[in-house]
Amino acid sequence: MKEYYLVDKNANADLITNLENTKEVNKIIVFIAQQLNLDNEKQQEIINTQCIAERIELIIQFIKDEIEIVKAESKIRNIVRDQIEKRQKDIYLNEQLQAIHKELGTDKTNSEFEKIEKKLNQIKMPKETKDSMYEYLSKLQMMNPISAEATVLLNYLHVICSLPWNKNKKIKINLERTEKILEESHFGLDKIKERILEYLAVQKHTNNKLAGPIICLIGPPGVGKTSLGKSIADSMDREFISIPLGGVSDEAEIRGHRRTYIGAMPGRIIQKLSKLKYNNPVVVLDEIDKISSDFRGDPSSALLQVLDPEQNKKFLDNYLDVDYDLSQVMFICTANTLNMSTPLIDRMEIIRLSSYTQEEKFEIAKKHLITKNMESHNLTKKEIKISDGAIKNLIKHYTQEAGVRNLEREIAKLCRKATKKIINIEEHNKNNKLNKEEFKTIEITDKNLEEFLGVKKFLNEEASKKNEIGLATGLAWTEER
Ligand SMILES: Nc1ncnc2c1ncn2[C@@H]1O[C@H](COP(=O)(O)OP(=O)(O)O)[C@@H](O)[C@H]1O
Ligand SMILES: [Mg+2]
């Protein structure tokens, strides 16, 4: 019983003296039975045992049993207590961490997780992809939010959530409207406009089922390749992005870096797409002939996967690490020359844009560039007037190019100079309290063009003044092959 009192902390150990003072065996046994809290069955067993020696043996056995039970119980209790203590410690530490975050101003993490989860719930993406994203999210929730790993994972989930996975913009194809928009934005270029209308007609007739070939616009600088891409997007009521590829020599620019790299980012295509709402924009891959390849891989081979309608359903960006469907995107490429790899050329339908003649430039300037620049400079027809002679002079003597980019720049210069004049007059009138009506339209003509733009930059050459037999009037070199 001394041993029993040692292990059972609940028993009253003082009672051991009672036991020591008792001399009668039966009384001792009854006392012990009470102390051990024996159940009725066991008590009956004791009573049933007639022989005193056997009775003592039995009660000793019961004491031993009870000691084992008490020992086992206390062991279990210890384990449970340890666990509870650990949990309480965790809760306590977490509370502390939250307090620290609050103090540092980094306590947005929890609401951020909720936001990500909400977004994930809404996104329509393939089920396996979604499942793995939920897994990443729960992993992230267990990480220390200020660790580098957590930051990487958080950024990753942000990129995933911002991509327009299956959100398709409903497009109503209306050829008449498209034609009108293209006509309004660009003069001439009939071949390419016609091709766009054909493309749309096929799309409409096949319910967008047929993945059309990728169009590649080839032509000298400034003939409207990039801006035409934007107009095509507008005319089809699609979102528009342009991805400049000039100087890209790293495959990772197209395909992204693995997430394990420090500062890893998705490729340019995924980066730009993540800023959009819908997955069916028009994407202009600009200056596709200017990509080069070096030791960091070959970006043009990565582009092959992007441009191949069979493969781009499962475009794999290294950063995303899950397939992304690019098949709804309408790709348009632009290039100055055909100087690119044969497999790439093979994937595309080449449409050539030639340089503009002086007459075409005149029309473009009159119908588009002047109005555009007057609008952007907030000039009205009352304030500025550019005569036809001035435009022709401008084209002939201030620009010498295939496209109209310099022409546009010179027109912008005219608008700038005119605006300055107008402001000068306004201020002068105000200071001298003169009537507003004194203001006259600023007229730019053949005669006064030099006042605005300075001396002529290009003069007609001797040879083109008078035709002579056997005299070459010019020598041209182009990049085309
Ligand atoms: N046919 C055209 N009609 C109207 N504007 C044009 C035309 N061609 C070019 N432009 C204008 O010329 C500028 C340069 O065009 P851009 O598309 O940048 O040329 P590219 O990409 O071929 O080098 C743009 O402002 C565009 O609006
Ligand atoms: Mg361009």
Structural domain boundaries in the chain:
2-87, 109-162, 175-352, 358-465
- Ligand 2 centroid to Cα of residue 349, in Å, is 18
Q: What is the pLDDT of residue 105?
A: 67
Place of tokens 């084992």: 68
| Count of other CB atoms within 10 angstroms of residue 305 | 16
* Ligand 1 atom nearest to 217, measured from its CA: 22
What's the maximum distance between 2 C-alpha atoms anywhere in the chain?
153
The ligand minimizing its distance to the Cα of 408 is 1
Q: What is the pLDDT of residue 124?
A: 85
CB 314 within 8 A of CB 323: yes
Residues 399, 282: Cα–Cα separation, whole Å: 32
The ligand minimizing its distance to the Cα of 357 is 1
* Ligand 1 atom nearest to 230, measured from its CA: 17
- Ligand 2 centroid to Cα of residue 257, in Å, is 27
Give 455-464's long-range contacts (Cβ < 8 A, gap of 24+). Answer: 456/397, 456/398, 457/397, 457/398, 457/399, 457/400, 458/396, 458/397, 458/398, 458/399, 458/400, 459/397, 460/396
- Ligand 1 centroid to Cα of residue 229, in Å, is 10
Would you state the structure tokens that stand for residue 276, as one six-digit string? Answer: 């959009």
Q: Give the distance, in angstroms, between the CA of residue 237 and the centroid of all CA atoms in the same chain.
A: 21
CB-count burial class (<10 Å; 0-12, 13-18, 19+) for 66: buried
Residues 220, 442: Cα–Cα separation, whole Å: 34
CB 363 within 8 A of CB 188: yes
* Ligand 1 atom nearest to 189, measured from its CA: 1
- Mean pLDDT per 10-residue run, the chain (481 residues)? 82 79 86 86 89 90 90 90 89 82 67 84 87 89 80 88 85 88 90 88 81 85 91 89 88 88 88 90 91 78 86 89 89 90 88 90 93 92 90 90 92 92 86 70 87 85 73 71 49
Say if domain 175-352 classifies as CATH 1.10.150.20. no
- Ligand 2 centroid to Cα of residue 286, in Å, is 6
Residues 6+ apart with CB under 8 A from 167: 124, 277, 278, 279
- Ligand 2 centroid to Cα of residue 184, in Å, is 19
Q: Which residues line ligand 1 (CB under 6 A)?
A: 186-189, 221-227, 334, 364, 368, 403-405, 408
Alpha-carbon distances of 168 from 118, 317, 329, rounded to whole Å: 20, 21, 10
Residues 335, 233: Cα–Cα separation, whole Å: 18
- Ligand 1 centroid to Cα of residue 214, in Å, is 21
* Ligand 1 atom nearest to 185, measured from its CA: 4
- Ligand 2 centroid to Cα of residue 35, in Å, is 98
CB 404 within 8 A of CB 356: yes
Strand, coil or helix: 323: strand
Q: What is the pLDDT of residue 436?
A: 62
CB 210 within 8 A of CB 203: yes
- Ligand 2 centroid to Cα of residue 406, in Å, is 13
Pocket probe for ligand 1: among 361, 366, 404, the residue whose CB has the most ligand atoms within 8 Å is: 404
* Ligand 1 atom nearest to 407, measured from its CA: 12
Q: What is the pLDDT of residue 4?
A: 86
Q: What is the pLDDT of residue 435?
A: 67
The ligand minimizing its distance to the Cα of 225 is 1
Would you state the structure tokens that stand for residue 443, as one six-digit string? Answer: 């007229």
Continuous H helices in 348-387: 358-364, 370-376
Pick from 334, 335, 395: which is nearest to 364 by CA? Answer: 395
Continuous H helices in 105-237: 109-122, 127-142, 148-162, 175-185, 190-205, 225-236
The ligand minimizing its distance to the Cα of 245 is 2
- Ligand 2 centroid to Cα of residue 312, in Å, is 24
Hey, whose CA ends up nearest to atom 11 of ligand 1?
A: 224
Residues 104, 10: Cα–Cα separation, whole Å: 49
Q: Which residues pair with 446 in a beta bridge?
A: none
Q: What is the pLDDT of residue 291?
A: 86
Written out in words, the top-level CATH class of the domain with range 358-465 is: mainly alpha
Residues 6+ apart with CB under 8 A from 387: 443, 444, 445, 446
The ligand minimizing its distance to the Cα of 246 is 2
Crossing angle (nearest 10°) for helices 225-236 and 175-185: 150
* Ligand 1 atom nearest to 221, measured from its CA: 23
Hey, whose CA ends up nearest to atom 10 of ligand 1?
A: 224
